[in-house]
Amino acid sequence: MSRFFANGSDSESESSEDEIQATNFNKASAFQFSDDEEEVKRVVRSTKEKRYENLTSIIKTIRNHKKIKDIPNTLSSFEDLTRAYQKALPVISKEENGITPRFYIRCLAELEDFINEVWEDREGRKNLSKNNSKSLGTLRQKVRKYIKDFEDDLSRFREAPDQESEAEDEVVALESDGGDAGDDSDSGVKPTEAAPKAVKTAPAKAAPADDDDSDDSIDWDSDSESETESSDDENQYQNMRERFLKRTTEKEEKDDDKRKDKRKEQKIKIRKRAEDDEDGEWETVVKGHVVEKPKMFEKDAEIDVPLVLAKLLEIMSARGKKRTDRRLQIDLLFELRDISDQHNLGTAVSVKIHFNIISAIYDYNQKISEPMKLEHWALLLEVMQSMMKLLLANADIIMSESVAEEHEEYVTAPFYVRGCPLAAVERLDDEFVKLLKECDPHSNDYVSRLKDEVNVVKTIELVLQYFERSGTNNERCRIYLRKIEHLYYKFDPEVLKKKRGEVPATTSTSVDVMDKLCKFIYAKDDTDRIRTRAILAHIYHHAMHDNWFQARDLVLMSHLQDNIDAADPATRILYNRMMANLGLCAFRQENVKDAHHCLVDLMVTGKPKELLAQGLLPQRQHERSAEQEKIEKQRQMPFHMHINLELLECVYLVSAMLLEIPYIAAHEFDARRRMISKTFYQQLRSSERQSLVGPPESMREHVVAAAKAMRCGNWQACANFIVNKKMNTKVWDLFYESDRVREMLTKFIKEESLRTYLFTYSNVYTSISIPSLAQMYELPVPKVHSIISKMIINEELMASLDDPSETVVMHRSEPSRLQALAMQFVDKVTNLVDVNEKVFDMKQGNFFQRGNMGNRGDRGYNRNQNNQGGNWLGQRRDRNNRNRNQRGHHKNNQDRQQQQQQQVQTIDEE
């Protein structure tokens, strides 16, 4: 019988009883009637309860997986959670006004903390299985991507993670208790794990106080309870099922009533608490153990210098200990500084407290490889500048690390304070670089952090002024180097304007400042490292402003290239950066050969990105260890100091093309010609081996296409590929005064194309008109005359100039194409014969050695060991064989020379 007809007629019940009595009661199937469903109460739940119950069950599963670190199952459960939340979104937008439930935010925060904890444990991560490790990376990536939509909710949750947790737990406990009790006598509602809302929204959504059950729950049989009870009294055993039901006693009914009353009271308490929170203000809950702030001084204490210094020593003595609250330590130092200023204890005491505040801020971040927080960074800049202004304003305060603690003086002038502002500003500079490396270089955060460089440089200037007034030469060199490192890579347009006379000659430029700082270091520094870095930065700055001859002379006089391999990695990186920028400077100043020499060591390795510390390339043969990769990342340069690698490669390939193509044309039939640029030569040969070559797309393909055009003497096509194409136009625009660079490049292409044309087609002409060459290559006649004259002087072109007729008369001293090919063939055959003879000599020399002739060699070896006379006999045999081989080799050489002479005579006769 269906459950919808639970209250059926008496006839139906009587007929069913007759059928039941005819069956066997000992079998389990006798009790499985359709009447079982008569007492099962129909529960209709709302969509909200269903969705929330699904979410909470998945969250519980995720927490269980996290406890045992079952990462693959955590990943699958997280995916189920996201899908369940997506289904619950319509309910949340309707019921919660679009506010994400707090229990869901809590789950995401806990999951993120769990992933970060496992990820930061490098040792534990190494011990993970392959499946766990792979799932961890996938889970981390998906969670980081997913929680971007909940950043505001997560930030609010992390500010007060424990807030409202009691209310949530009580509501969940209430509903779970209701499910455990079952309410089988009254309501029959199944337990749900519907998640509570935030306390802020609880009063608006709460049910009335008199209602026990959920508003959305409907008990279909609640209206007929009284009728069924009366019928039970009249007909005690109406069906067989009731014979075996457990009857509730009066005691149990009283307990159920007590539980219901208790739940009502708890709901009322929660509702009142929510209303109180609604009327009141939010309270910020601090994570971790709350430590009460200790009192600084007693109320009646007389505050003087010894008392403040003793308190300062007490605060700083806790530095580095385990349970020290570093945030509280910084707050106490600031409070102590304010007390010192209020009681006018002197500037020296204030400077001492300032320096200790700086040390405490540095101590807050225990991991040196990680950058400090932005709030501490801003605080550090402020305190550092404040301390240096106090030192500069009071000349009677001497602050140095050479002052011992027992010799400090804070009462009478001159004041002596122990501390090192130079070390503090160097650490400040390093922290600034770490902050820049941490940011995404293509985001606005990087730009905002880069704006802090103004304050960093200002702080360095203050320290520089202090040490110029009272400081040793070594300290001045160190602070000068810090200023140089913030100046050497910056371009100053005033330098070029001063060269052209557009600004007065007395105008101070960055080149003048660099010259002053570097010359002091050259004269006063007693450590090779500071001097070396100053020279490299000086050369870099000269090269950036097109001072080619000054930069070149500094490189040649310093002999840095001889001992740079013994320097530290940071100095070698600076050397590579200097050579790259020097090559760009030489290219801009029309010194193509020097540009190629400067760039060849960088580009031939194929790893300029790593050599310039602008990124890491994946290792193919062996992987870096985690520690090694961490060290390499710390050496990387900030993004705003990078040199464009595409520009560097383009300049290198164009310089190689301008040198290599004329050389190939001049030594076309020379089998032993050398390669000027291996990288460019490989690119050219790989393009020639391709059966089908399409239009160029990348920068390398443009250079190869231009090289092929230059080999034919077609300068216009070559210039079109190099200069006028869109891809290369973007590259040349990176230069200052890019139009001048393009004009220079076009002029070089014309000249080298002319030289290539003369090398390639000189054997075709008897004489060539110089004006026709000038018209063909759009060059002035004197320039063409100069180029041909140089080629004749350097014996590159066998010709003579006829000035009256303005022609170049060719001398047919070069072999024809057939003769050149014949000579190449002779050289190759000669090389082949030499190789064969060497192989034959090696076999002859090892003929009688042990082991090469099997048992015969062993027997001969044993016989020589047994016979005392066998030794000189073996030596005589070897000497005879060697003489015979020498006579044969000499005869072969004579025959080969005669054969070559006959071939040359035959070629001349033809």
Predicted local distance difference test score (pLDDT) of residue 522: 93
Predicted local distance difference test score (pLDDT) of residue 687: 85
- Please count the other Cβ atoms lying within 10 Å of the Cβ belonging to residue 897: 10
Predicted local distance difference test score (pLDDT) of residue 620: 63
**Mean pLDDT along residues 210-239:** 43
Predicted local distance difference test score (pLDDT) of residue 519: 94
Which position has the higher pLDDT, 588 or 285?
588
Q: Examine the pLDDT at 137 and tell me if it is beyond 70.
A: yes
Residues 6 or more apart from 434 whose CB is under 8 A from it?
369, 370, 371, 372
**Mean pLDDT along residues 836-865:** 55
Predicted local distance difference test score (pLDDT) of residue 828: 87
Question: Using an 8 Å Cβ cutoff, are 476 and 525 in contact?
Answer: no
| Range in 359-368, 710-719, 889-898 with the lowest mean pLDDT | 889-898
Predicted local distance difference test score (pLDDT) of residue 268: 67
Predicted local distance difference test score (pLDDT) of residue 25: 41
d(CA 775, CA 769): 10
CA Rg, the chain, in Å? 45
Quick one: pLDDT band at residue 251, thresholds 50, 70, 90?
low
Q: Examine the pLDDT at 431 and tell me if it is beyond 90.
A: yes
Predicted local distance difference test score (pLDDT) of residue 20: 42
Predicted local distance difference test score (pLDDT) of residue 729: 61
The tokens describing 400, both together, are 């140095």
Which position has the higher pLDDT, 380 or 864?
380
d(CA 326, CA 321): 10
Predicted local distance difference test score (pLDDT) of residue 44: 67
Beta 799-802 vs 807-810: how paired, if at all?
A: antiparallel
- Sheet containing 767-769: give its strands across: 767-769, 807-810, 799-802
Quick one: pLDDT band at residue 872, thresholds 50, 70, 90?
very low
DSSP 32: -
Predicted local distance difference test score (pLDDT) of residue 673: 72
- Please count the other Cβ atoms lying within 10 Å of the Cβ belonging to residue 750: 20
**Mean pLDDT along residues 532-561:** 93
The tokens describing 498, both together, are 């001063």
**Nearest to residue 458, comparing CAs of 427, 429, 420?**
429
DSSP 721: I
Which position has the higher pLDDT, 846 or 352?
352
DSSP H helices, 604-737, are 608-611, 626-634, 645-666, 678-689, 699-711, 715-719, 726-732
Predicted local distance difference test score (pLDDT) of residue 899: 63
**Mean pLDDT along residues 296-314:** 84
Q: What is the dihedral of CA 794, 799, 802, 803, to 10 degrees?
A: -20
Quick one: pLDDT band at residue 607, thresholds 50, 70, 90?
confident
Quick one: pLDDT band at residue 885, thresholds 50, 70, 90?
low
Which position has the higher pLDDT, 817 or 311?
311
**Mean pLDDT along residues 303-308:** 88
Predicted local distance difference test score (pLDDT) of residue 257: 65
Instruction: Output the CA angle 30-32-34, nearest 5 degrees.
Output: 125
DSSP H helices, 762-849, are 770-777, 781-793, 817-845
Q: Is the pTM of the predicted complex or chain greater than 0.85? A: no
Which position has the higher pLDDT, 158 or 878?
158
Predicted local distance difference test score (pLDDT) of residue 384: 94
- Please count the other Cβ atoms lying within 10 Å of the Cβ belonging to residue 361: 25
Question: Using an 8 Å Cβ cutoff, are 651 and 599 in contact?
Answer: yes
Quick one: pLDDT band at residue 241, thresholds 50, 70, 90?
low
pLDDT, one tens digit per residue, over 388-410 is: 999 999 889 999 888 888 888 88
**Mean pLDDT along residues 673-688:** 83
The tokens describing 646, both together, are 């595409």
**Nearest to residue 53, comparing CAs of 167, 189, 218, 183?**
189
Instruction: Output the CA angle 830-831-837, nearest 5 degrees.
Output: 90
Predicted local distance difference test score (pLDDT) of residue 125: 83
**Mean pLDDT along residues 653-670:** 87
Q: Examine the pLDDT at 468 and tell me if it is beyond 60.
A: yes
pLDDT, one tens digit per residue, over 733-750 is: 888 888 889 999 999 999
The tokens describing 654, both together, are 């164009």
**Nearest to residue 486, comparing CAs of 547, 527, 425?**
425
d(CA 895, CA 902): 11
Predicted local distance difference test score (pLDDT) of residue 588: 92
Predicted local distance difference test score (pLDDT) of residue 520: 94
Predicted local distance difference test score (pLDDT) of residue 215: 40
Q: How many helices (H) and strands (E) does the chain have?
A: 39, 7
pLDDT, one tens digit per residue, over 42-58 is: 666 677 777 788 888 99
Predicted local distance difference test score (pLDDT) of residue 126: 79
Which position has the higher pLDDT, 433 or 127?
433
**Mean pLDDT along residues 422-441:** 92
Beta 415-418 vs 43-44: how paired, if at all?
A: unpaired
Share above pLDDT 70 across residues of the chain, in percent, rounded to a whole number: 71
pLDDT, one tens digit per residue, over 516-527 is: 999 999 999 888
**Mean pLDDT along residues 100-104:** 86
Share above pLDDT 90 across residues of the chain, in percent, rounded to a whole number: 27
Instruction: For the chain, give the mean pLDDT.
Output: 77
Quick one: pLDDT band at residue 180, thresholds 50, 70, 90?
very low
Quick one: pLDDT band at residue 907, thresholds 50, 70, 90?
low
| Range in 123-137, 230-244, 367-381 with the lowest mean pLDDT | 230-244
**Nearest to residue 655, comparing CAs of 583, 761, 576, 560?**
583
Predicted local distance difference test score (pLDDT) of residue 246: 53
Tell me which H or E stretch contains 477. helix 473-485
Predicted local distance difference test score (pLDDT) of residue 165: 45
3-state SS, 625-641, equals: CHHHHHHHHHCCCCHHH
DSSP 409: B
Which position has the higher pLDDT, 159 or 76?
76
User: Would you kindly state where each structural domain of the chain is located, as residue ranges?
Assistant: 1-24+34-39, 41-222+251-279, 305-471, 485-614+631-641, 645-761, 819-909
**Mean pLDDT along residues 275-279:** 49
